[in-house]
Structure 1
Amino acid sequence: MTLYDLFHRIDWAALSNRLAKLYPDQANQLPEYEAAFNSLRLVAPEETRMRIIVQQTFREGLDDEPFVEVSGKDGTLNKEQDDFQYMNQASEGTFANRETSYALSLSPWNEWLGMEIDAATAEHYSDEDILAHCLWEMTWHGFEEESIQEQKKELDRRVAEIAAMTDEEKKEKLIPWEDVKQRLKDKFNRDDQDES
C-alpha cells in the first residue's frame, strides 16, 4: 500500500477528525490542510525505494514525552553513507548495521505519494492516523509544494556554498560543532545531550 492509495481511500471528513485529535494546536489551520489534501489527490505518484515509517520516538534528555515521528528508509545502512567515517561509530556495531532513517519533510509530493507504507507502520497505526501524520509532516514547511521546494533549493544552495569554501574560509565563517554545543550548554546550563 502506498501513500497515494491512502489519499484515495480516506475522505477529508475522516482525515480532518484525526488531524484535529492528533494535532489539536493545528485546528485553526484545517482549511489549509484540506487544500493541501485536495491538491495531493491530483498528483501522480513517482515510484521510489523509500518506505514511510511512522513510529513513536523519545530522545532521552531532549524530549519531555514521546512523540510520533515520520521518516523514510530505503534499505541503505548507516555504514554505507559517505559521511559514516565522521560519525565516531564502530564499523560493525549496531548503529553501523542499522538502516538509515531519512527526513522526508522536504521531499517532492509525487515521491511521497509513491512511497510504500512500512509493514510495521501499517500494523501499528490505522490508515487515518498514518495519513494524518504524513500530511502533517508533508506540510511542515508550508501548505504548497512550490514554497516547500523553494526552501529545499535554498538549503541545497547553502550546502553547496559551504562545500565550495576553502579550509580558511570555513575556519573564518563557520562555528565548529563542539563550540556550538559549549555555547548552548553555557546558555542553558545543561549537560551534553545526544548528538544525533
Structure 2
Amino acid sequence: MGKIHERLDDRLREFIGAQPVYFVATAPEQGGHVNVSPKGYPDTFTVLDDTTVAYLDLDGSGVETISHLRQNGRITVMFCAFSGSPNILRLYGTGRVVVPEDPDFPQLITKFGPHPGVRSIIVVDCDRISDSCGFAVPFMSFDKDRPLLDEWAERKDVQQRRVYRAKNNRESIDGIPGLSPEETAPATQRS
C-alpha cells in the first residue's frame, strides 16, 4: 500500500506534473486553525531537486501559509490522482517564504509560468516523501483551469493590490504576522 521514498524520482515527478490540483496544509505552532489550501495552474509548481520543491504563491484572501511558515516552517503538500491509477503523494517538510526582495527570488521566479499577482514563492525542503493507495479518491475529470484569479489580479493596479494586501494579508486569522508593510507592495514583474 504505502511507501516512503528517499527522493523524488522520475515516476514521482511525472505523477506530480500530471495533477491539475494540489493541496497545501500548514498549522500554527499551538492552537489556532489548521489551514488547507487547494492550488491550481500546473505551471505554479516545480521540483527543484530530489528533495526540494517550490510553488508560486499568488494573491489570495488570506495569508495562513506565509504566517504559519514564518512561525514554525511546517508544511505538507498533497497530490491525489483523480484519474488513472489511484495514488496519493504527500511531501512533508520545512517551508520558507521567498518574497520579491529576497536574493533567491529572481532565479526562482524563472521556474514558473506567467501569472500576475505574485506574492511570494514557497520553497519546501522535504524530509518525508510518501505515497499511499488512494483507493477511495473518486474519479473526476479535469475540464480546464479557472482563469479567474489571474483575471482578478490583472484588473487591479499596483495601488489597489497594495491596499488589498494590506487589508487581507498582514496577519493570519489567528493573528499571526503575515506580510510586512514593505512586502504588501506588489512585485512589478510578472512570473
Fold shared by both chains (TM-score > 0.5): no
If the TM-score is normalised by the length of the shorter chain, which range does it land in? under 0.3
Larger strand proportion of the pair: 2
Superposition TM-score, scaled by structure 2 size: 0.28
Look at both structures and tell me which one has the larger radius of gyration over its CA atoms: 1
Larger helix proportion of the pair: 1
